[in-house]
Amino acid sequence: MDPQLLPFAERQAPRYTSYPSANHFDASVNAETYGSWLRALSPDTSLSLYLHVPYCRELCWYCGCNTYLTRGGDIGDFVTALMMEVDLVASKLGSHRVGEIHWGGGTPNVLSPEQFSRLVRQIHFWFDVASDVAHAVELDPRYVTRELAEEYVAAGVGRASLGVQDLNPHVQKAIGRVQPIEQVRQAVETLRGAGLTQLSFDLMYGLSGQTADDLARTIRLAADLQPNRIALFGYAHVPWFKRRQRLINAEDLPGASERFDQAELARSMLNDLGYESVGLDHFARPDDPLAISARNATLKRNFQGYVAQESAALIGLGPSAISHLPGGYVQNITTVTAWRHAVEADTLPIARGHAETAEDLRRNAIIQSIMCTHQVDLGPWGGWDMFPDAYADLRALSEAGLVMIENDELRIPDSARQFSRLVAAAFDAYAQPSQPAHSRAI
């Protein structure tokens, strides 16, 4: 990495899976607001459903998600409460077409085949699930069984996303996630054997003790298994926010310059292996819908990362899940017990949210364009005169060659794609650069 770029690589910036970022949501948006937004939704509005399963069989040290260890009857109680939340939301919405269903967590495969099937039946009971629904589930490869895989296929799941992270034993040990390649291969064979053939792998760089050679080995081994997509995330070390990350030896974390080089190495290797770059950190086979939407400039970014298609309303279900409706964002209560108590009291389990203003929508469109296509034309948004602060913020990035500005157009060169979050942050009216609320931009 060019040493002159180091100060930029060390800056922090939001991931922009929403605008504003969730740390700017507040309690002024509550269950009553959400109820009015749900009731106001036009019956012909298509929905995306996101179901958050906050349990895992083991807790990995690096994880930044909202997760709990599975214990006794917890899962059964959780499934009952999640079904009640589906009832509660659907009773306010009425029947709508559902175009996308995504199960995240946590580990959705802590649910038994019967529990998963009950929840899917509940969704079909209330909603008009499209015959070509994009139905995806995130899985921990260590707990994929034949019975589960067959249930997913029977329920219409078309894509599974496997958490792979790194395939070197010493790195796996350093991050508290021991998962030999044989387990990943077995999970892939089980899913494909059941007919679930669209597979995504999540990989990570910037992990404790991980070198460029380790990352290259992981990419080679992962590519041998021929997933359709690979997402490559930079590890975010935020121990002030996630206590379990204190178990990770911070002294062995790669620095900003090494992280940059690792991400560039991965991009170049994956491109050479036939995966097209999609957005900031995703890669897909040329025939994959994600690669096609990137080529057609129709790619979208939301809480699941990059998506090829997205409905006008996202309904989040489960603790901490975030919904996005035409009025704005709401986030469910984070702790399982408080979320369940709200649902049992027949109350929408909302903790906070954000009502979008016209200014938010304008800036969100610009930030989406930067994060998805690495360019934006400000002409339709009133040109630079409407964003004088952004112009000033971008001057240093422009002088360093990380962004090209010509008239009302802004473009990020391929070699500077990793800095897209910093470029987007210039248009963020809520950004507070001095607060360590976000991870490093690279």
Which positions touch ligand SF4 (CB under 6 A)?
Answer: 56, 59-60, 63, 65, 67, 105-107, 140, 163
Q: 368, 282, 353, 345: which is closest to 316 by C-alpha?
A: 353
CA–CA separation, 278 vs 280, rounded Å? 6
Residue whose CB is less far from ligand SF4, 107 or 277: 107
As measured in angstroms, the least distance from the Cβ of 61 to ligand SF4 is 8
> Whose CB is nearest to ligand SF4?
63
Longest dimension (CA), the chain: 62
User: What does the block give as tokens for 140?
Assistant: 């921990």
As measured in angstroms, the least distance from the Cβ of 158 to ligand SF4 is 21
SS3 annotation, the chain = CCHHHHHHHCCECCCCCCCCCHHHCECCCCHHHHHHHHHHCCCCCCEEEEEEECEECCCCCCCCCCCEECCCCHHHHHHHHHHHHHHHHHHHHCCCEEEEEEEEECCHHHCCHHHHHHHHHHHHHHCEEEEEEEEEEEECHHHCCHHHHHHHHHCCCCEEEEEEECCCHHHHHHCCCCCCHHHHHHHHHHHHHHCCCEEEEEEEECCCCCCHHHHHHHHHHHHHCCCCEEEEEECCCCCCCCHHHHHCCHHHCCCHHHHHHHHHHHHHHHHHCCCEEECCCEEECCCCHHHHHHHCCCCEEECCEEECCCCCEEEEECCCCEEEECCEEEEECCCHHHHHHHHHCCCCCEEEEEECCHHHHHHHHHHHHHHHHCEEECHHHCCHHHCHHHHHHHHHHHHCCCCEEECCEEECCHHHHHHHHHHHHCCCCCCCCCCCCCCECC
As measured in angstroms, the least distance from the Cβ of 60 to ligand SF4 is 3
- The identity of residue 404, as a single letter, is M
As measured in angstroms, the least distance from the Cβ of 68 to ligand SF4 is 9
As measured in angstroms, the least distance from the Cβ of 223 to ligand SF4 is 21
Residue whose CB is less far from ligand SF4, 60 or 403: 60
As measured in angstroms, the least distance from the Cβ of 260 to ligand SF4 is 24
As measured in angstroms, the least distance from the Cβ of 169 to ligand SF4 is 17
Residue whose CB is less far from ligand SF4, 31 or 59: 59
Residue whose CB is less far from ligand SF4, 37 or 62: 62
Q: 10, 7, 3: which is closest to 237 by C-alpha?
A: 10
Residue whose CB is less far from ligand SF4, 141 or 209: 141
As measured in angstroms, the least distance from the Cβ of 12 to ligand SF4 is 22
Residue whose CB is less far from ligand SF4, 180 or 326: 180
As measured in angstroms, the least distance from the Cβ of 35 to ligand SF4 is 30
- The identity of residue 71, as a single letter, is R
As measured in angstroms, the least distance from the Cβ of 88 to ligand SF4 is 26
Residue whose CB is less far from ligand SF4, 41 or 53: 53
Residue whose CB is less far from ligand SF4, 163 or 209: 163
Cβ count near 362 (within 10 Å): 17
Residue whose CB is less far from ligand SF4, 30 or 183: 183
Residue whose CB is less far from ligand SF4, 62 or 427: 62
